[in-house]
Amino acid sequence: TPGGTLYDRIGPEALAELVTRFYELVAQHPDLAPIFPTDLTETAEKQLAFLTGFLGGPPLYHERYGHPRLRARHLPHVITPKRGRAWLACMNAALRATPSIATADAQEFYAALTRVAAHMVNTPDAGQ
Ligand code: HEM
């Protein structure tokens, strides 16, 4: 549907595809794989629930797991600027590999994620 929220335009199927692709890339990324669990099933379920609400769809994450407290939840993980860029690169590649998401919607989504990702960085890069 044109108009509406980003969630209305992208839809649940394309969003689920995107999240699946994203974690396939995360699992293969040398800077990211070490900080993620080997089994990404639950992580992907939580991310799909979170992004659904983030894009203006039903607040599934809040309903299932409570307030996301995203920055606090990321604090136990060492997230450097380099890892922030790696996370965004995986998301960008996953967006490009999901052609059912229109380019303008992908760009708007990516810009919003860039802002949240900057907030998750909690450790300087090594050697500074
Ligand atoms: C969970 C890394 C950015 C949303 C996690 C986990 C890691 C991680 C290691 C724990 C996985 C697990 O144990 O299941 C990163 C890194 C980022 C980043 C390196 C780079 C900046 C983001 C962003 C968002 C996000 C931008 C939202 C747009 C989530 C959610 C969870 C999660 C919803 C699950 C929280 C829960 O356990 O309930 N992330 N993350 N992350 N991340 Fe990130």
Q: Report pLDDT for 2.
A: 64
Architecture label for domain 8-120: Orthogonal Bundle (1.10)
Q: What's the rounded Cα separation, in Å, for the pair 65 and 87?
A: 23
Tokens describing residue 53: 């609400």
Ligand 1 atom 31 nearest Cα: 47
Summarize pLDDT for 70-127 with one digit per residue, the tens. Answer: 999 999 999 999 999 999 999 999 999 999 999 999 999 999 999 999 999 999 998 7
117 closest CA partner among 82, 67, 93: 82
Ligand 1 near 37 CB (within 6 A): yes
What is the distance in A from the centroid of ligand 1 to the CA of 96? Answer: 20
Task: Indicate the domain borders of the chain.
Answer: 8-120
pTM of the shown model: 0.97
In this structure, the residue with its CA closest to atom 29 of ligand 1 is: 47
The Cα-based distances of 57 to 15, 51, 88, 100, 103 in angstroms read 11, 8, 22, 18, 19
Cα separation, 75 vs 70, whole angstroms: 9
Q: Say if ligand 1 is within 6 A of residue 116 CB.
A: yes
Round the average pLDDT of the chain to a whole number and report it.
96
Cβ(55) – ligand 1 distance below 6 Å: no
Tens digit of each residue's pLDDT (9 = 90 or more) over 22-34: 999 999 999 999 9
Residue 50 C-alpha to ligand 1 middle, in angstroms? 10
